[in-house]
Chains A and B, each alone.
Chain A
Amino acid sequence: MTILANGLVIVFISVGVLFIVVTAIGLLRLPDLYTRAHAASKSATLGVMCVLIGVFFHFWLIEDHFNPRILLGILFLFITGPVGGHIMTRSSYIAGVKPWKGTVRDDLASEIEKMKKEQGIK
């Protein structure tokens, strides 16, 4: 039973560490801010959720200590990770960071032009 629990913990922590390494590679190698923010927000959230699920199973199955604070942390990260990524990307678009030159379509530009015209900015 201990071997089975250890295997479960090792699988979850391995998947989480793999996704965090993918995040670091994406932040180093991708060309502009929007692709880097996409890599950072999604895969980092999934990686830390898998690591914390592994920690939760370790404390529950091996040390016999049910810890609801980790579940609360996983829920909080699941809600706020994509929201934070969206806020960062939108604020940097409004502040005027240019996309990469290989970007195919840009749906937000016309919307922001319409919003500025309605509110009378510039």
Chain B
Amino acid sequence: MTTFIITAIVVICLSMIAVIYRMVKGPSASDRVVALDSLGVSLISLIGLFSVLVETSFFLEIVLLLAILSFIGTVAFSKFIEKGDIIKRDNSR
């Protein structure tokens, strides 16, 4: 069981290296945002497998926290790419 979990962690780390290559190389800024979102998802599954490996459930709050932070980061980057700023400042008042 331990060997299987270590193998899964190594495979996920290799796929994360491939995603980091896309994040460094990516032709536009949107490619980098897509790669960053995929990197966050891989990191969540890596933390789940790591908590199985060390047989403690204290790391499992971090799964929820990273999911929320990754989603907020994706929305903020998307708004920045679309409009040029994150929080709209209107001068009507």
CB-CB under 8 A from B35, the residues of chain A are 27, 40
CB pair B41–A48 under 8 Å, yes or no, is yes
Q: Which residues in window 33-73 of B have CB below 8 A to A?
A: 33-35, 37-38, 41-42, 44-45, 48-49, 51-52, 55, 57, 60-61, 63-64, 67-68, 70-71
Q: Is A104 an interface residue (CB 8 A)?
A: no
Q: Which residues in window 44-93 of A have CB below 8 A to B?
A: 44-45, 47-48, 51-52, 54-55, 58-59, 63, 65, 67, 69-70, 72-73, 76-77, 80-81, 83-85, 87-88, 90-92
Question: What is the number of residues of chain B that contact chain A, defined by CB distance less than 8 Å?
Answer: 46
Q: Is A17 an interface residue (CB 8 A)?
A: yes
> Which interface class (under 10, 10 to 19, 20 to 34, 35 or more) fits A?
35 or more
